[in-house]
Amino acid sequence: MPDTIKQSEVADPEPPAIPGTTIFDGRQAMKGYALNKMCYSFNAAAARDDFVADEEAYMAAFGLNEDQKAAVRDRNVLDMIACGGNVYYLAKLAGILGLSVQDIGAQQTGMTTEEFKQKLLGAAR
């Protein structure tokens, strides 16, 4: 193998896992395509109105699978990520639901929003 290959960063098929972290890679992107596409549509105000008016019809129109639909019905962010959701697109859904990034942080870590904010303040020390 030439040195130039050895010295460069090569794609590692199984890097050591980072706890509590899902790397949004091609596999996740394939899995979550319908869910993320629906969330991307929420850039348009009319799309947000359509979702609010009839969530089930809106999810069906984008072809979400049953796990993705259940995660959306439950407003469960960790489940959405497990179904391939990407947080940049999910943030647009969270906006419709009136959830801030501190709210979704709190939900994912099993804290109240106030506790989560205190945790963030604690990082300064």
Partner 1 sequence: MAQVIGGITTSHIPAIAIAIANKSYDDPYWKPFFDAYPPVHEWLADEKPDVAVVIYNDHGLAFFLDQMPTFAIGAAHEYRNEDEGWGIPTIAPFAGNPLMSWHIIEQMVADEFDITSCQEMAVDHGFTVPMQLFWPDRGPDMPTVIPIVANTVQHPIPTVKRCYDFGRALGKAIRSYPEDVKVVVLGTGGLSHQLDGERAGFINKEFDLMCMEKLVSDPQSLTSITRHELIRQAGTQGSELIMWMMMRGALSDEVTVLNQNYHIPISNTGAGTMLLACND
Q: What residue ranges bind partner 1 (CB under 8 A)?
A: 8-9, 11-12, 15-16, 18-26, 29, 33, 36-37, 39-40, 42-45, 48, 77-78, 81, 86-92, 94-96, 101-102, 104-105, 108-109, 116, 119-121, 123-124
Residue 79 has a CB neighbour count (10 Å cut-off) of: 16
Q: Kindly tell me which of 36 and 68 has the beta carbon lying closer to partner 1.
A: 36
Q: Kindly tell me which of 40 and 75 has the beta carbon lying closer to partner 1.
A: 40
Q: Report the nearest approach of partner 1 to the CB of residue 59 (Å).
A: 17
| Contacts made by residues 94-98, CB under 8 angstroms, sequence distance 24+ | 95/42, 96/42, 96/48, 96/51, 96/52
Amino acid at 34: A
Burial of 84 (0-12, 13-18, 19+ CB in 10 A): buried
Q: Report the nearest approach of partner 1 to the CB of residue 72 (Å).
A: 15
Q: Report the nearest approach of partner 1 to the CB of residue 56 (Å).
A: 20
Q: Kindly tell me which of 56 and 115 has the beta carbon lying closer to partner 1.
A: 115
Residue 109 has a CB neighbour count (10 Å cut-off) of: 12
Q: Report the nearest approach of partner 1 to the CB of residue 14 (Å).
A: 11
CB within 8 Å of 57: residues ≥ 6 apart = none
